[in-house]
């Protein structure tokens, strides 16, 4: 029905499977922090980094462009959804630009491995690790530049951020490749059957 209305108004819309999966992953990335915060408390997000999981899955499955898009859109969606649901934005406005940068890099770098992952799903392990290193490095660098330019903040807080997020990084390094292995195996089985 919607397609007929759009056609009658000469509006061309092409919705692809990748677009739908991307939108679903952005929604998952926006809602997972709400769940983690309700279970693990206020520091749960900084420890478990729930938003990163769907971004990495998206990059590994859909490629760099879609991964980067999911990464850029997820913190913004989370910000507005959490503001509407809780009355308190997650991430906080001051952290939002850094999370956009970091998650964009996470999605882009993991997505660079997508073609190899479809051939050999175990490539998801180094893909996630490379994305984590690159994303965290870019985030640290951008925050260090702001601290140096503004003279406000402390460099020690940057390393504290990394230390706090180690459980989440470890969980991603194990869980995301296992999810990818499961999904790729399922997709191959569906093609055969």
Per-residue pLDDT reduced to its tens digit, 49-76: 999 999 999 999 999 999 999 999 999 9
Taking the whole predicted model, whether its pTM rises above 0.95 is answered as no
C-alpha 99, offset from chain centre: 9
Residue 43, in any domain of the structure? yes
Phi then psi for residue 14, to 5 deg, are -115, 115
CA distances from 138 to 47, 106, 126 (A): 19, 10, 18
Q: How many helices (H) and strands (E) does the chain have?
A: 10, 0
Please compute the mean of the pLDDT values over residues 162-179 and round it to a whole number.
96
Counting the structural domains of the chain, the total is 1
More confident position, 1 or 36? 36
CATH code of the domain containing 134: 1.10.1760
What percentage of the chain has pLDDT greater than the value 70? 90
- Within a domain: 141: yes
Q: How far apart are CA 126 and CA 128, in angstroms?
A: 5
Ordered alpha helix ranges (H), 88-165: 96-111, 114-119, 124-150, 155-164
Question: Residue 1: what pLDDT?
Answer: 37
DSSP class of residue 47?
H
What is the reported pLDDT for 51?
Answer: 96
Residue 57 counted as domain residue:
yes
Q: Which domain holds residue 39?
A: 16-187
């Amino acid at each position: 029905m919607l397609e007929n209305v759009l056609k009658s108004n000469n509006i061309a819309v092409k919705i692809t499977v990748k677009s739908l999966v991307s939108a679903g992953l952005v929604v998952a990335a926006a809602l997972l922090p709400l769940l983690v915060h309700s279970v693990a408390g206020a520091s749960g997000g900084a420890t478990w980094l729930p938003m990163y999981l769907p971004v990495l899955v998206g990059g590994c499955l859909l490629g760099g462009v879609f991964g980067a898009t999911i990464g850029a859109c997820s913190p913004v969606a989370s910000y507005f959804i959490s503001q509407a649901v809780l009355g308190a934005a997650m991430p906080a406005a001051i952290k939002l630009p850094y999370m956009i940068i970091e998650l964009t890099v996470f999605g882009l770098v993991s997505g660079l491995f997508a073609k190899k992952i479809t051939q050999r799903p175990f490539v998801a392990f180094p893909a996630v690790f490379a994305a984590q290193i690159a994303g965290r490095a870019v985030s640290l660098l951008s925050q260090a530049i702001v601290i140096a330019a503004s003279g406000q903040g402390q460099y020690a807080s940057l390393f504290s951020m990394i230390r706090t997020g180690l459980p989440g990084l470890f969980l991603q390094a194990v869980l995301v490749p296992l999810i990818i292995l499961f999904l790729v195996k399922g997709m191959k089985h569906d093609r055969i059957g």
